[in-house]
Amino acid sequence: MDETSRTKIPDRSPRRASRRDALRRFASFTGASPLFQGSADAQQETQTTASEEEPGYLSQEPLRGRPRIIRPPEYSDEIMAPVNLHDFEGLAKAKISPMAYDYIAAGAADELTKQANSEAFDNYWIRRRAMTDVRQIDTSIELLGERREHPILLGPAGAMHMLHEDPYSTIARAAKNSGAIYVGGAENMAEVTQAGEAPTWWASTLGSPTPETAATFAKSVQDGGGSAICVSVDYPYTGARDRVIRNEFDMGMIPERNYSTSEPPTNGFQSGMIQAYVPNMTWRYMDWMHAATDLPIVVKGIITAEDAHLSVENGAQAVVVSNHGGRTLDGMRGTMEVLPEVVDAVAGRVPVLVDGGVRRGGDVLKALALGARAVLIGRPYMWGLGAFGQEGVQRVIELLHGELRIALGNAGQTSVSNLDRSLIRRAWLPREW
């Protein structure tokens, strides 16, 4: 086929508004509106008694030819009003300070990578299979020796006190109630783990790592009940986030301040200033931690085959494809675009996870079909926390899990363990595909 006969590649310019951006802007506009409330009468019409086996999801039993819509009875009408993860952003924006909103929502520089994370999902289309018995849907996975109800994890995030007075324990309890693993980074993670009574991976982004600090942290995770250590390797310097700089945001405003230096600049995000976070981390850090603990170590922040190989060679028991939500370095590809590269490099030796831009159950389906074992979400559950506290976080997870179940069934799939690349195709085909 000559070049002139090739299918024209659609314009994927970051400047062009995507469908996801439109949804986000709509949510921001409507979130504070009193009109953005679900109809109590309409909701009541669809409410039935939930089965003990499937609370909060579509019933497996047909009712006069239609599935029963099950409404969790413990939630208020206000919490039930959001119908997807996009909606929570607008609701949170209406309740938190503009400075807090910009800090969480911001990506680095022109936010091209943040946008690329979302748009990358739109580059894949699902090949639905028909005439399959999908009455029974299995979303469970095996991860680091544990069986999990679904493949959705809550990724590490800081600055949570801008959203809630007791954020980390609240998130941990929500994770327990929703069957999710919480990857937390609070200084009091032992208390958080105890409060949540659920598996927690402790996130590590230690500044100026040494054998001593690595060993101390690893021992604290083991003694505190953590089930794994998640090491972020993509954060040597704080990213230049324009809207944070314009707000003259001061890191000292965050109660759980955690700096790599003892005395950061008064305004660590001021334009032209460089704020080191973890500038001297090397693969030696893995050796130090392995020497101190037998807990699994997960490496987060991998976007190349080369680093995927190095992660496994240095003892990583899982790898997370991540560009830090587009918050550190602008100009990188979306994580879904690099996921196949990392999966192929790992070659089944360890599980591969992915984060960045996951907003729909179909997104989770696509990621798993490309080889991910699970996904992590960040901003969506933070918006849920800011809007409704613990119940908001729970509802975010439940909505995403419910959408995944629906996507599986409508795609003719009965289990996430059966997914592979045959289920999806690129929306456009580059030469290397």
CATH number of the domain residue 299 falls in: 3.20.20.70
Give the three-state DSSP class for 101: helix
**For residue 8, is it within any domain?**
no
User: Quick check: helix, strand or coil at residue 246?
Assistant: helix
Of the residues 86, 150, 164, 324, only one is catalytic, namely 324
- Whether residue 171 is contained in a domain is answered as yes
262 located within any domain: yes
Please tell me the predicted confidence (pLDDT) of residue 111.
95
Within 213-350, strands assigned E span 228-232, 297-302, 318-321
Range of the domain at 210: 116-420
Give the end-to-end CA distance of the chain in Å, rounded to a whole number. Answer: 15
Which strand (E) or helix (H) includes residue 126?
strand 124-126
Q: How far is CA 78 from the centre of its chain?
A: 24
Distance CA 348, CA 338 (A): 16
Residues 382, 157 contacting (CB under 8 angstroms)? yes
Structure tokens at 174: 């929500």
List the one residue out of 41, 50, 85 whose CA is nearest residue 69.
50
Residues in the chain: 433
Establish if 430 belongs to a structural domain.
no
Residue 309 known to be catalytic: no
Is residue 38 in a domain? no
- Residue 318's beta-bridge partner residues? 298
Q: 421 near 369, Cβ under 8 Å?
A: yes
Tally the domains of the chain: 1
Identify whether 89 is part of a domain: no
Q: Which residue has the tokens 């790599």?
A: 260
Burial of 285 (0-12, 13-18, 19+ CB in 10 A): buried
Burial class (CB in 10 A: 0-12, 13-18, 19+), 7: exposed
Fill in the amino acid letter for 407: A
pLDDT at site 10: 43
Does some domain include residue 381?
Answer: yes
pTM, two decimal places: 0.81
Res 37: pLDDT: 43
Consecutive 10-residue runs of the chain (433 residues): their mean pLDDT? 41 51 58 44 39 43 46 81 97 94 94 96 96 96 96 92 92 94 84 76 78 90 92 86 81 49 45 66 92 95 98 98 95 97 98 98 98 98 97 97 97 97 84 52
In a domain, 429, yes or no: no
Can you tell me whether residue 346 is helix, strand or coil? helix
Q: What would the two tokens of residue 52 be? A: 């003990």
Which SS3 state, helix, strand or coil, does residue 131 take? coil
Taking CA atoms, 246 is separated from 108, 270, 338, 403, in Å, by 13, 8, 32, 37
CA nearest neighbour of 366 among 375, 87, 395: 375
